[in-house]
Amino acid sequence: MATFSQHPIGKFMASANWKAALSLYLFFAYFSVLLQLILFLSHSTRFIGLRQAIVMSFFWFVPVLLLHKHTKLVTALIGVVLWATSLVSIGYFCIYKQEFSQSVIFVALESNVAESSEYISQYFVWWMVPVFALHTFFAYWLWRNIRQLKTTVLVRWSVSLAILFVLLIYPIFKYTQIDQKSTDDVVEKMLTNIEPAAPWQLVTGYVQYRLQLNNMQRLLENNAKLPPLQNFKDVHANKPATLVLVIGESTNRGHMSLYGYGRKTTPNLDEMRNKLNVFSQVVASRPYTIEALQQVLTFGDQEHPDLYLTKPSLMNMMKQAGYKSYWITNQQTVTKRNTMLTTFSMQTDEQVYLNNTRVQDSRQYDGDVLDPFEKALQDPAPRKFIVVHLLGTHMKYIYRYPPEFNRFKDKAGLASILDKEQVEAINTYDNAVLYNDFVVSDLIHRFEASKQNGFLTYFSDHGEDVYDSPPRNVIGRNEGNPTLPMYTIPMLMWFSPEWRTDRIAQEILDRPYSMAHFIHTWADLAGLSFTEFEPQKSLVNPAFEPLPLLIGQPQKPKELKVICQQKNYEGSISLASKGCN
Ligand SMILES: [Zn+2]
């Protein structure tokens, strides 16, 4: 009977110099795993990046095994490449405490020259020198300790093939044959897999940046060719005005004390309540950022989803009205998912991209938008349109607020049926809502203090179910299995006394409304009218007509559902074709 020790792999394991294998692995892994470990341990990002770095470091065994005689030379050459690219990532981490990503390349290459050199000059602070020196010395020491593997040709080839099979061949087979993904998606998946490892952050970062840039350019060219809105009129024409649109993220109004939540999660907005117009029955049409905003910011809606490509957007509309426009965002910039968002941002005159993390589940605070907002307010341009896009209460909730906002820690105010893990999730979500309250109220205070004439609207792109809907076992969002908290969003408005003296009537504040039609409300508030304007779709218009609150994928009209009542979380969504009763 052939024992395992006679098998080629067994022979390798028995005969191979384990110290040699370990010395090689440590050398390759050092350049990626160390940084991923620091990112993970400092709670900057999730475990998956570390896992990918650990796995992908095995890849370098392949050239070493195949060019076995030249182990020292091959490892030195690979080492130089890994060392150089890791310097960029480490330098970036030292300054920003974040992982390098394609968004960094975008911001560095697309920003104007002054900003780029500012960016680069930040890399050269004095204490980087000892950090780099230590890093270089340690890498050299690891290389010095590398030993040659003593194996047969057969073993070297089998191990190389096995590594290639696990890291490349099987994943590609799985994505194409089992998961039936498109070529684009397979490329995207593979790039994402290798990205956490040096030197691939730089390579994939640049490839993805080029790909997204092309897509975006196409969308922008298409947008530039659209005819303007017809018979355009502006009742405030040539008068100074500042209009602000604050887009929140993943905030279910059911978790805001402003909307009656038991915990005091929105103390600042509560306090300024008599200055605000708080809408009580506004819903999102889709539970995902891009899909939701594609309707909020354009004429596209659940019945006409493609109008976002063929009619001007809200940003185009404001430009047509002669406003200088700004897009200040704390959301990720260049990812395949966010191409549409970045395209929207490029339809404004000035952009500030604050979030360069590789994955959305990374630590990033919305307070970063306050200074750029202040700067935009101070811009002497007489007519300004400012969009602020927050990260709000996006997963992972604990990454959304600084420690001083960690106020909800126990079970106080929560249902007794919730277990420890659920309580933990709700507590971190409520803390994120508390921090969001600080950011949104601060934006309003700053706007008010600037004494500029205009208004500010805040809404969340969609909600989030945080064990809210019965039987309280759902967290997150799922369009296929919709629950009310995924759609019930906050929407509020603040007007300068000059723009509007009276408050919006309660009867109007209580109208059921889908954000899919928001462009009509915005135009109405801004005093704009044109042929495409439909007053019955404006929440604040006397001609307003309540329309079905459609949710679901607009590409499957027969499966669309409708939100019937929003007062509690039970029995409130039904098939659109059946209607509400
Ligand atoms: Zn979102």
For 534-568, write each residue's pLDDT tens digit. Answer: 999 999 999 999 999 999 999 888 889 999 877 76
Contacts of 231 by beta carbon, 8 Å cutoff, 6+ apart: 529, 530, 531
Handedness of CA 285, 286, 287, 292 (dihedral sign): negative
For residue 293, report the distance from its CA to the centre of ligand 1, in Å: 9
Taking the model in full, what pTM does it have?
0.77
Judging by beta carbons within 10 Å of its beta carbon (0-12, 13-18, 19+), is residue 13 exposed, middle or buried?
middle
φ, ψ for residue 369 (rounded to 5)?
-80, -15
Q: Name the 3-class secondary structure at 442.
A: helix
pLDDT at 356 over 80: no
Strand partners, 389: 247, 329
pLDDT in tens, 285-334: 999 998 999 999 999 999 999 999 999 999 999 999 999 999 999 987 66
pLDDT per residue over 486-509, tens digit each? 999 999 999 999 999 899 999 999
Instruction: Give the rounded percent of residues in the chain with a pLDDT score beyond 90.
Output: 60
The CA 250 to ligand 1 mean position distance, Å, reads: 5
- CA of residue 329 to ligand 1 center, whole Å: 13
Backbone dihedral angles phi then psi of residue 204, each to the nearest 5 degrees: -70, -35
Task: Give 372 Cα–ligand 1 centroid separation in angstroms.
Answer: 22
Query: How far is ligand 1, taken at its centre, from the CA of residue 286, in Å?
Result: 9
265 backbone dihedrals φ, ψ, rounded to 5° = -90, -15
pLDDT for 5 beyond 80? no
Amino acid at 330: N
Tell me how crowded residue 108 is: count the other CB atoms within 10 A of its CB. Answer: 15
Cβ count near 358 (within 10 Å): 24
How close is the Cα of 390 to the center of ligand 1, in Å?
9
Dist. CA 56 → ligand 1 center (Å):
31
- Identify the H or E element spanning 234: strand 233-234
- For residue 34, report the distance from its CA to the centre of ligand 1, in Å: 32
Ligand 1 centroid distance, CA of 251 (Å):
9
Confirm if 243 and 373 have CB atoms less than 8 A apart: no
What confidence tens digit (pLDDT) does each residue in 246-290 have?
Answer: 999 999 999 999 999 999 999 999 999 999 999 999 999 999 998
Distance 289 CA to ligand 1 centre (A): 3
φ, ψ for residue 384, nearest 5 deg: -130, 140
- Tally of CB atoms within 10 A around 199: 19
Secondary structure (H, E, C), 339-408:
HHHHHHHHCCCEEEEEECCCCCCCCCCHHHHHHHHHHHHHCCCCEEEEEEECCCCCCCHHHHCCHHHCCC
Quickly state the pLDDT bin for 114 (edges 50, 70, 90): very low
Q: What three-state secondary structure class fits 534?
A: coil
Residue 242 predicted with pLDDT over 90: yes
Quote the ligand 1 centre to 291 CA distance (angstroms): 9
463 Cα–ligand 1 center, Å: 8
Give the Cα separation of 297 and 329 in Å (integer): 15
What distance in angstroms lies between residue 461's CA and the mean position of ligand 1's atoms?
A: 5
Which residue type does 20 have?
A
Query: 323 near 243, Cβ under 8 Å?
Result: yes
Respond yes or no on whether the N-terminal peptide bond of residue 396 is cis (omega within 30° of 0): yes
How high is the pLDDT of residue 117?
53
**C-alpha of residue 365 to centroid of ligand 1, in Å:** 15
Distance 394 CA to ligand 1 centre (A): 7
Please give the Cα distance from 273 to 456 (Å, whole number). 14
Nearest C-alpha neighbor of 167 from the set 201, 206, 204, 197: 197
The CA 431 to ligand 1 mean position distance, Å, reads 18
Alpha carbon of 248 to ligand 1 centroid (Å)? 8
pLDDT bin (cut points 50, 70, 90) of residue 447 is very high
* Ligand 1 centre distance from Cα of residue 457 (Å): 17
DSSP at 488: B
Q: How confident is the model over 360-401, as pLDDT tens digits?
A: 667 789 999 999 999 999 999 999 999 999 999 998 899 899
Quote the ligand 1 centre to 292 CA distance (angstroms).
8
**Nearest CA among 355, 260, 274, 296 for reference residue 521:** 296
Q: Based on the number of CB atoms within 10 Å of its own CB, is 38 exposed (0-12), middle (13-18) or buried (19 or more)?
A: middle
Rounded to the nearest 5 degrees, what angle is found at the Cα of 420, between the Cα atoms of 417 and 424? 110
**Tokens coding 415:** 């249902």
Ligand 1 centroid, distance to 479 Cα (angstroms) = 13
Cα(331) to ligand 1 centroid in Å equals 10
One-letter-per-residue 3-state SS of 261-307: CCCCCCHHHHHCHHHCEEECCEECCCCCHHHHHHHHCCCCCCCCCCH
User: Residue holding tokens 């929407």?
Assistant: 491
How far does residue 188's CA lie from ligand 1's centre (Å)? Answer: 21
Ligand 1 centre from 234 Cα, in Å? 31
CB 430 within 8 A of CB 408: yes
* pLDDT tens figures, 400-423: 999 999 999 999 999 999 999 999
Length of the chain: 581
Cα of 290 vs centre of ligand 1, distance in Å, is 7
At residue 151, does pLDDT exceed 90?
Answer: no
